[in-house]
A = this chain, B = another copy of it.
Amino acid sequence: MVLHLVPRWSMWLFWATPGWRKTAGALGASVKQRLMNYPWGSYSPWVCRSYSSASRSPEVMLTYERYPVQRLPFSKVSEEDMATFQRIIPGRVITDPEELEACNVDWLKTVRGNGVGVGIQRNLAVNPQGGNTGMVGGSVPVFDEVILSTALMNQVISFHNVSGILVCQAGCVLEELSHYVQEHDFIMPLDLGAKGSCHIGGNVATNAGGLRFLRYGSLRGTVLGLEVVLADGTILNCLTSLRKDNTGYDLKQLFIGSEGTLGVITAVSILCPPRPKAVNVAFLGCPGFAEVLQTFTTCKAMLSEVLSAFEFMDAECMQLVRQHLHLASPVQESPFYVLIETSGSSAEHDAEKLGSFLEQVLGSGLVTDGTMATDQKKIQMLWALRERITEALSHDGYVFKYDISLPVERLYDLVTDLRTRLGSSAKHVVGYGHLGDGNLHLNVTAEAFSEALLGILEPYVYTWTAEQRGSVSAEHGVGFKKRHVLGYSKPPVAVQLMQQLKALLDPKGILNPYKTLPAQA
């Protein structure tokens, strides 16, 4: 069952405006279209029926069958609960199994919940859900948690076209927001592959990183305010639009990156940078990882304030993108590829800086081949090679995904190390990611999920990372899948304090249970 938060509520789930339909057009036709596909006004019986596999293949195992996890003693949704929900948010309770499928299965098809029935007083567990584009099973129920969707909360509340401060509801789709602020000559401070589906509320709840992190930094700096519904239904209004505010503890930080386990983010105030007048992208081939690193150092020194992205991918990534998506490399075959983006206020100055840089790296042999783009279409084509790697991987079979922070010098060693360790038991071992942020996306593909392969990968990958004092989750978060590996990156004192914060903010543990924190002994 899915409960949609309504755009104008004054208490959590207990108040609804009759005029909710009007909000659908707020962000343009495509959002409207998306929303109108829901069968508002009628809904099926409350029981989530058996899984219909007709439209989906391969079938995804239920999470609690695949992973060792026990249902906690939450209540189950009763017919009385259903009647209550129907009364308070008529037409916005979804129980149809076909429809529920999209909410129960994450897009990677690796975890699948069995969502049913809401209510704090009733001790019902709640699973807040945005665009359901997470990588770690944080946005789908594990058992029968009620899914609380933010999809209808898709309104821009205000935009200040001098300061660039955007205030909007949590369910706004990132790409729609991008288009919206671009019309006012600003850009969103974050960009990621899932932009077409992910919600800004989910981005903030997971502290999403992405492609502009190098230039505009973390959401912890760019998010200025939040409105959050706490576990007891209280609304915490910290939705201010001030760049500086040192009045007491910065409570919004608690909710950024806490994956809906401490509260449900319902609105966001965020600082948007001015839209750069000139954007250039260079796509380069490098003969080795040492050269990739030296190219990065040179790049930081020579492109400095106009550098907005430094991404890398290895030859196997390019091979998969070619094989599964029929995209061709724009440069000679190389062991490594680098994508560099500049954004600035003067096309002439930026081109001059980029030109000097390319002359330097080509002349010194750090780069063996390269291409450059200034027009939007070619820029998008080059970015697609990097952004669509995840998609290419999902066509390659079951994907074991790791998202690691490491000292940049050791970043690729883990990939080569794993290739040796895995030999022919994996189809592909690939490395790519946000080199400028020390963030490696390490992916291993196989024909199917295999316990044996998992045993070779884990805890090896985590131990290796911990030895380098890295992070076992750089930007994807913890969700359901990584909650037992927190200890590789955080000391026991820290994990204990996290448990205490959870107990303080959500004493009944009803908010996104089985997520973020390890199960307590």
- Assess whether A112 is interfacial by the CB under 8 Å rule: no
Contact partner of A504 (CB less than 8 A), chosen from B470, B473, B501, is B501
Query: How many copies of the shown chain assemble into the complex?
Result: 2
How many residues on chain A are close to B (CB under 8 Å)? 87
Given contacts A221-B217, A304-B274, A474-B242, contact A498 B345 (CB under 8 A): no
- Assess whether A477 is interfacial by the CB under 8 Å rule: yes
Contact partner of A349 (CB less than 8 A), chosen from B237, B274, B346, B482, is B346
Q: Shortest beta-carbon distance, A329 to chain B, in Å?
A: 28
A516: chain B residues within 8 A (beta carbon): 248-249
- Assess whether A238 is interfacial by the CB under 8 Å rule: yes
A475: chain B residues within 8 A (beta carbon): 244, 246
A247: chain B residues within 8 A (beta carbon): 471-473, 478, 482, 486, 488-490
Chain A, range 231-290, C-beta contacts under 8 Å to B:
234-238, 240-251, 253-254, 256-258, 262, 274, 276-277
**Are B439's CB and A405's CB within 8 A?**
no
A405: chain B residues within 8 A (beta carbon): 242-245
**Are B251's CB and A246's CB within 8 A?**
no
A254: chain B residues within 8 A (beta carbon): 249, 253-254
Chain A, range 469-506, C-beta contacts under 8 Å to B:
469-478, 482, 486, 488-491, 493-495, 497-498, 500-501, 504
- Assess whether A7 is interfacial by the CB under 8 Å rule: no
**Are A246's CB and B474's CB within 8 A?**
yes
**Are B218's CB and A437's CB within 8 A?**
no
Chain A, range 418-462, C-beta contacts under 8 Å to B:
434, 437-439
Given contacts A438-B163, A469-B240, contact A494 B248 (CB under 8 A): yes
- Assess whether A162 is interfacial by the CB under 8 Å rule: yes
**Are B504's CB and A305's CB within 8 A?**
no
- From A297, which residue of chain B is reached at the shortest CB distance? B162
Q: How far is the CA of A243 from the CA of B471 in the complex (A)?
A: 10
**Are A438's CB and B297's CB within 8 A?**
no
Q: How far is the CA of A338 from the CA of B343 in the complex (A)?
A: 27
Q: Mark A210-240, 1 if CB is under 8 A from B, else 0.
A: 0001000110111000000010001111101
Q: How far is the CA of A254 from the CA of B500 in the complex (A)?
A: 13
- Assess whether A408 is interfacial by the CB under 8 Å rule: yes
Chain A, range 136-173, C-beta contacts under 8 Å to B:
162-163
**Are B236's CB and A408's CB within 8 A?**
no
A345: chain B residues within 8 A (beta carbon): 301-305, 353
Given contacts A217-B217, A474-B242, contact A251 B303 (CB under 8 A): no
- Assess whether A209 is interfacial by the CB under 8 Å rule: yes
**Are A246's CB and B349's CB within 8 A?**
no
Contact partner of A346 (CB less than 8 A), chosen from B163, B243, B248, B353, is B353
**Are A497's CB and B274's CB within 8 A?**
no
Contact partner of A246 (CB less than 8 A), chosen from B221, B250, B469, B473, is B473
Q: Mark A342-354, 1 if CB is under 8 A from B, else 0.
A: 0111100100110
A203: chain B residues within 8 A (beta carbon): none
- Assess whether A5 is interfacial by the CB under 8 Å rule: no
- Assess whether A133 is interfacial by the CB under 8 Å rule: no
Among A234, A345, A478, A489, the most chain B Cβ lie within 10 Å of the Cβ of A345
**Are B349's CB and A244's CB within 8 A?**
no
A217: chain B residues within 8 A (beta carbon): 217, 221-222
- Assess whether A124 is interfacial by the CB under 8 Å rule: no
A-B contact pairs, 19 of them (CB 8 A): A162-B409, A163-B438, A207-B246, A218-B244, A236-B494, A237-B491, A240-B469, A242-B438, A243-B405, A243-B437, A244-B474, A247-B488, A248-B517, A249-B257, A249-B262, A251-B494, A276-B304, A276-B305, A504-B504
Additional A-B contact list (14), CB under 8 Å, known A246-B474, A305-B345, A346-B353: A209-B246, A213-B244, A221-B221, A237-B491, A242-B474, A244-B405, A244-B438, A245-B473, A246-B477, A247-B471, A247-B482, A249-B501, A274-B301, A304-B344
